[in-house]
Structure 1
Amino acid sequence: MAVLLGIDRCSQENFSLLKGKRVGLITNHSGRDSNGRSTIDLLYNANGVKLTALFTPEHGLRGVADDAVSDAHDPITGLPIYSLYGTRLRPQPEQLLEVNVLVYDIQDIGVRFYTYISTLKYAIEAAAEAQIAFLVLDRPNPLGGQQIEGPLADADRLDFTACHPIPIRHGLTLGELATLYVRELKLPLQLDVVRLEGWKRSDYWDATNLTWINPSPNMRSLRQALLYPGIGLLEFTNLSVGRGTDTPFEWIGAPWIDARKLAAALNAASLPGVCFIPVQFQPSTRQYAGQTCSGVEIIVTHREVFRPVRTGLTIALALRQLFPEHWEPENYLRLLANQKVFQAIIQGAPKEEIFTMLEEDEQAFRERIAACLLY
């Protein structure tokens, strides 16, 4: 069964929730209906709806920027485009003077440090402060809604890449995340979610019959999105995670790695649903640009049992054990955002001990979100 997006259902209902409203739209190139029509165009041309401002997240309105994004004007609608990734990370009071409802329509990938969900939280807070309503046009979690994985972010490590104490693979849609934010922050906010139709928690993206649009420059497939919760964790260390190649997040490497040694150790760990192949590659940008890196390609063989965060943590343990003089783990904490798990990796704890830590956090989160699930 084809999935209907929040924007599809909103359009079918003739935008009744937005009639007579002055709308600020938080979106980017991924904000499209299932026929590929831009949410900007649909709202701008909707009868009785006044689109007054556009807000855009990391990577900009077209999803191609890799640095800070500047304010601009949309040449088609003439509307101001306010950047939420640059000198400011949230809508400002003066930008909301002509807005009485903020609408959010951006495709997420289900990972805590993917910053679109931080933009969602900050925008919700701004709407509550400005005493305006908030509407989420819901979209599927490409990784499904059944698997939750990873440690919770520590309360004292919350920032733009860990905006709320949630696991790395959170298993929620944006509408459910918004519900969680409002509930746990106790915000005085009118929140509405235009729900998906036809989506089940067991559905990965390829069960939706929806077209994949790269939500950011280096997220080019469902396969990469599935690997990202574990491999993305490594990218602030002195390791290439494949950025600057055709297959980011599908392999890791560095000039100092013995590829066969690493692959053998990781395969010996007997992680479910994944295997590792020794490779060499040369990134064109980012870490080790122009240098030959040795490492491993990560092959998911059975995604239903594959656990990307546990896989990423096992890779970190192997790097710590096999290449202690080369791998620099200090920045691993930046995206992991959990001091207890980080210390366990530094100390070389058995992976089973670390996995037990994860299970405690995952179960606690399942209990927290029970009242927020919409599907």
Structure 2
Amino acid sequence: MELGVDRFLRNYVDLCKGKRVGLVTNMTGVNQNLTPTIDLFHEHPDIQVTALYGPEHGIRGNAKEGEKIDSFVDPYTKIPVYSLYGSTKKPTKEMLEKVDMIFFDLQDIGARYYTFIYTMAYVMEACAEFGKQFVVLDRPNPITGTIMEGNLVEKDVRSFVGLYPIPNRHGMTVGEIALMYKHEFGIDCEVIVIPMEGWSREMFYDETDLFWIPPSPNTTGMDMCTLYPGTCLVEGTNLSEGRGTTKPFEYVGSPYIEGYRLAKYFNEKKLPGVLARPVSFVPTYQKHKDAVCEGIQLHVTDRRKINSLKTGLTLLETIAEMYPHDFELLQFGEKKTYMFDLLAGTKDLKELVLNGKTSSFIELCEAETEAFNKQRQPYLLYK
């Protein structure tokens, strides 16, 4: 198997000869031997890197979720690093003055809430506006390019956790998404995708010969990534999604929950590919910091059969039924926006959760993913 970055350096370096290069990346931007793309580009005699751009969590991955990041000069290469998760999420004219083309080399995790694909969208918009080339060095979708789950984001709840009408689990690589942005969603910049070789759509990341580097502090491995299209919805509630533990998005709980009782009721649902185990945990930060929480750990028993979104919704529905006076959906800002709506991509789902009727939503999702699958076909690079 060969990553986009390795194929570029082997075959396509002439694309940037005589041009000033910007690079959107972080610690996941490495080649097969774990050498950072920053170093590979900076040390290459035919590549002139003049700017680096960092997404959420920063270029070195040391910032927590939602934490604003300032621009700075990289101490190793002395190249300016412009933050795309600080005062702006879209590169400004000033940020692009010293580049002719921008490369994108970030590892996505396959769920629409994950902000890297929207950083890519904003960079593409800036490239269109200011006449810069955009090049994607493609990487695998870690939870396969075949399985899709979820609904398409509605216009009135679009945000940086759901900017375009794509499902919760999209089954695409970042290169394929970039092509879809251009041809379906109207971001009209010049896009070049350097595809991988040897990646098959049905592969999970650990079925490749690549090393897994967590793209952010809470993306711990394949079980977490597999569950995330469903359990990320927990963030919109007063439950802990396991941040501040060793098993984020696998642990779900709260001080008001009885773990044994929840595990029993959840397992009685007999959902394919998943079992719950009662757990007790103390988050070190975020919701319920330093408080003893009981709840469950979701264990993936068959990752090709599990429907992560149905799993997450069934869990929330069960907790809402068991603890109707304790379970809450969180609001923020002056407009009292529900975070759950932004994650769900619709304002309708929260009432279905509270009233135990999410099965109707799952049926809707099947039709929407089928439509999305047809829409994405022209942009699939790995048949």
TM range (shorter): over 0.9
Counterparts of 1:247-286 in structure 2, within 5 Å, are 247-286=247-286
Q: Distance in 2 between matches of 1:281 and 1:162?
A: 30
Aligned partner of 2:38 in structure 1 is 40
Aligned partner of 2:334 in structure 1 is none
Counterparts of 1:111-122 in structure 2, within 5 Å, are 111-122=111-122
1:194 deviates by 0.4
1:137 deviates by 0.2
**2:132 is the alignment partner of 1:124:** no
**2:344 is the alignment partner of 1:346:** no
Counterparts of 1:307-346 in structure 2, within 5 Å, are 307-330=307-330, 331-346=339-354
Q: Distance in 2 between matches of 1:263 and 1:345?
A: 18
Aligned partner of 1:363 in structure 2 is 370
Counterparts of 1:2-17 in structure 2, within 5 Å, are 3-13=1-11, 15-17=13-15
8 Å contact 1:73–1:81 — kept in the other structure? yes
Structure 1 stretches of 4+ with a deviation exceeding 3 A read: none
1:273 deviates by 0.5
Aligned partner of 2:50 in structure 1 is 52
> SS at 2:236's partner residue?
coil
1:114 deviates by 0.7
Amino acid at match of 2:374: E
1:14 deviates by 5.6
8 Å contact 1:151–1:341 — kept in the other structure? no
Kindly tell me: are residues 323 and 156 of structure 1, through their superposed partners in 2, closer, same or farther at Cα, counting changes over 3 Å? same
Q: Distance in 2 between matches of 1:206 and 1:373?
A: 21
8 Å contact 2:321–2:354 — kept in the other structure? no
> SS at 1:202's partner residue?
coil
| Deviation string, structure 1 residues 308-348 (Cα, Å, up to 9, x no partner) | 11100111111221111111024422311212333322332
Amino acid at match of 1:259: G
Aligned partner of 1:183 in structure 2 is 183
Number of residue pairs matched? 372
Amino acid at match of 2:2: L
1:370 deviates by 0.9
8 Å contact 1:273–1:300 — kept in the other structure? yes
**2:89 is the alignment partner of 1:82:** no
Moved more, 340-349 or 129-138: 340-349
Q: Distance in 2 between matches of 1:332 and 1:258?
A: 23
Q: Distance in 1 between matches of 2:296 and 2:188?
A: 49
Q: Distance in 2 between matches of 1:122 and 1:146?
A: 26
Q: Distance in 2 between matches of 1:155 and 1:187?
A: 17
8 Å contact 2:159–2:342 — kept in the other structure? no
Amino acid at match of 2:290: G
> SS at 1:235's partner residue?
helix
Q: Distance in 2 between matches of 1:48 and 1:279?
A: 54
Amino acid at match of 2:84: L
Aligned partner of 2:333 in structure 1 is none
Note the residue ranges of structure 1 that are not aligned, 5 or more in a row: none
Q: Distance in 1 between matches of 2:76 and 2:297?
A: 43
Moved more, 12-21 or 220-229: 12-21
Amino acid at match of 1:6: G
1:364 deviates by 1.3
Normalized against structure 1, the TM-score is what?
0.96
> SS at 1:15's partner residue?
helix
1:132 deviates by 1.1
Q: Distance in 1 between matches of 2:91 and 2:159?
A: 17
| RMSD across aligned positions (CA) | 1.2
> SS at 1:269's partner residue?
coil
Note the residue ranges of structure 2 that are not aligned, 5 or more in a row: 331-338
Q: Distance in 2 between matches of 1:342 and 1:19?
A: 52
8 Å contact 2:58–2:83 — kept in the other structure? yes
8 Å contact 1:15–1:46 — kept in the other structure? no
Aligned partner of 1:232 in structure 2 is 232
